[in-house]
Structure 1
Amino acid sequence: MKLYGYWRSSAAYRVRIALNLKQLSFENLPVHLVKNGGEQHSDSYKALNPAQLVPTLVDGDLSLNQSLAIIDYLDEMYPQPALLPEDTAAKAWVRALALDIACDIHPLNNLRVLQYLTGPLALTEQQKLAWIAHWLSTGFTALEQRLAQSAGQYCFGDSVTLADICLVPQVYNAQRFALDLTPYPHIRAVYHNCLQLAAFALAAPEQQPDAQ
């Protein structure tokens, strides 16, 4: 398998964690999102992924984008360890937590959104940081309340799930932007517990070959 990603991409970070949890070997192919105007806009990469986003997973003849779709594919192809509970209601709860992060929190702080804020919309750096803090705080406040209902060691009890795979990269981003995490004890505890696992530690942005 080949994974096209960027060391600090939250979505690529999620897929790296999943691959590591499944103990799957993969070739890590960096796509620098900033250099040369963004390598994701190159003709060769656009042919692979017309959305011009990372990650893209290539497995044989299959070329797949969207981190959650990739993780779902990996979970079906390589069922152990399972990333979703067996119980239908529990599975839906975990998926909802993951989507809270991947669909409602992450996109508002994605690189291309931030570039548009400070580019065509001409926001100052201070205004951009205020935007980031507002949407992270809004999302984390709701997520903290949900984790109060379901968290054990991890987001859902004491087993690692898709929700944890999504949470860790988002907390990493929040720390990058100096968000005060004091109001979110459940989020902080889950993040700490996940980082004790090799699959998460090895997927960390600083551990990637293109980290700089």
Structure 2
Amino acid sequence: MPAGALITILGWFASHLIVFTLIGFAVIGFFVLDRQPLAQAPLAAEESVSVAPVSKRPPVEATAAVTTNPAGAMPEVAPAESKSPPARAPKLIGGSIPVYDLKNRPAPEGEGFRPGGVPAEPPMELPSDRESLLQNARRAFWNGQFEAAEAVYMDLIAQYPDDADIFGELGNLYEGMGQADLARDAFFEAGVRLRNAGERKKLSQVIEILKKSGDERYMSLSDP
């Protein structure tokens, strides 16, 4: 090759050295930048792992199974039959009305109406005077507390055995209780005391009551 041509070529390369340098940097940069996404692609693929949604089952409600255990149940015990204590022998006051032991006296056979909630025993503390006792007996009678009224009348009879009015009111009480036989006995006792006291007007009323009820004892009260 002639020396002139070589000098010309070298001069041309020298004049275009900057251009070739820029082109070289561009090519190198292209390859470098093009390799970085390829190198990072597997990492991105590893990071973007899709997590499948976990299906949540509906909560299962716990149901308590109630079991009956017949063997564990308490057996029903039949209530024991209550036996009333025997009544004390009655003490007669001038006739057929007995003064009962009120706390131990059993109910009469064939007993009629008894209102609910009636106290089974008489009041423990009773006034001693006649009028207060009568008021207590009448109040209990009006309130339908027949047993309480009967208890007070019996207490009055024990204290005032010759009082005809007390026997008369007791007869009214027994009529209200549906105890016709006891009512006639009480009226008869009232008649005996009225005859002894000479109270003819009240006695005639008692005689009329016994006569209408078919009690022949009215004739003994009519005799002088």
TM-score (norm 2): 0.29
Greater relative contact order structure (CA < 8 Å, 6+ sep):
1
In terms of fraction of residues, the more strand-rich structure is: 1
TM-score (norm 1): 0.30
Pick the structure with greater CA Rg. 2
In terms of fraction of residues, the more helix-rich structure is: 1
